Amino acid sequence: MLKGKTAAITGASTGIGKAIALNMAENGANIAIIYIGDKDPAINVKKQAEGFGVKAEIYECDVSDYEISKTTCEKITADFGSVNILVNNAGIVRDNLLLRMSESDFDSVISVNLKGVFNMTKHFSRSLIRAESGRIINIASVSGIMGNPGQANYSAAKAGVIGFTKTTAKELAGKNVTSNAIAPGFIETDMTANLPQTVKDNANNIIPLKRMGTTEEIANVAVFLASDMSSYITGEVIKVDGGMCM
């Protein structure tokens, strides 16, 4: 489905990013694994991706840093020749009620979750245009659609990602580049695994399908959006939330 294409995926060493990277590799795409922090999980994803017979490389990058992002994007483009698919998945949380939220917690979430999307998309835009059928896939959140107490920073960033997605869709459509967002709901990741059981139970109670989603279910949508099957879809926000945000 993605044979011969190259996908650059931020936050690709764990969670949703890892699932997307491995699903795309299984479908034939070469993978640029972009991570920050612990290198071992990224190496593990690289080995698993290579098991599907594709090229995979790892790149440490702080996506919130404009110049570091630029250098990383240039290195990836040089290593792979071109980038056809960009998945902006990297994100952090610094949850707290507005009255208790620090300026640094607000700024750091905006910097990674929103500015990081701008940085990587801008620096890869020329390669995506040259690909003649480029795909931008941004991982947003239902929090960016309906808000969520304790997440003023995260919700604002993800709402910004949605606006950014629609704008880039309009700007790049003439170059046959599509831009879409996926808005996950409660997904089983290391992040949600640490939530108190009462929080998980309450979440399941408000989800019509009565369960959390899996990273693979997000990855399946990402692969669809990266493939030719979605060639006439752009500027969309696809919720993958079990019906929580209708």
- The pLDDT tens digits of the residues spanning 140-156 come to 999 999 999 999 999 99
So where are the chain's domains? 6-238
Closest among 45, 48, 51 to 59, alpha carbons compared: 45
How confident is the model at residue 203, as a pLDDT? Answer: 86
In the predicted model, is pLDDT for residue 188 greater than 80? yes
Q: Could you tell me the pLDDT band of residue 51, with boundaries at 50, 70 and 90?
A: very high
For the segment 70-77, the average pLDDT, to the nearest whole number, is: 98
Average pLDDT, the chain: 96
Cβ neighbourhood burial of 237 (10 Å; 0-12, 13-18, 19+): middle
For the segment 39-66, the average pLDDT, to the nearest whole number, is: 98
Q: Could you tell me the pLDDT band of residue 192, with boundaries at 50, 70 and 90?
A: confident
* Dihedral sign of CA atoms 223, 229, 233, 238 in order: negative
Which positions are annotated as active-site residues? Answer: 154
How confident is the model at residue 229, as a pLDDT? Answer: 97
Residues 6+ apart with CB under 8 A from 241: 142, 183, 184, 185, 186, 207, 213
For the segment 155-181, the average pLDDT, to the nearest whole number, is: 98
How confident is the model at residue 195, as a pLDDT? Answer: 78
Q: Could you tell me the pLDDT band of residue 227, with boundaries at 50, 70 and 90?
A: very high
How confident is the model at residue 170, as a pLDDT? Answer: 98
Burial 69-101 (b: 16+ CB within 10 A, else e): bbebbeebbeebebbbbbbbbbbbbbeeeeeeb
Tokens of 181: 């967002």
Q: Could you tell me the pLDDT band of residue 88, with boundaries at 50, 70 and 90?
A: very high
Condensed to tens digits (0 to 9), the pLDDT of residues 101-128 reads 999 999 999 999 999 999 999 999 999 9
In the predicted model, is pLDDT for residue 171 greater than 80? yes
> What would the 3-class secondary structure string for the chain be?
CCCCCEEEEECCCCHHHHHHHHHHHHCCCEEEEEECCCHHHHHHHHHHHHCCCCCEEEEECCCCCHHHHHHHHHHHHHHHCCCCEEEECCCCCCCECHHHCCHHHHHHHHHHHHHHHHHHHHHHHHHHHHCCCCEEEEECCCHHHHCCCCEHHHHHHHHHHHHHHHHHHHHHHHHCCEEEEEEECCECCHHHHCCCHHHHHHHHHHCCCCCCECHHHHHHHHHHHHCHHHCCCCCCEEEECCCCCC
The percent of residues in the chain predicted with pLDDT above 90, rounded, is: 93
CATH number of 6-238: 3.40.50.720
**pTM for the predicted model, two decimal places:** 0.96
In the predicted model, is pLDDT for residue 193 greater than 90? no
Q: Which residue has the higher pLDDT, 206 or 190?
A: 206
How confident is the model at residue 190, as a pLDDT? Answer: 81
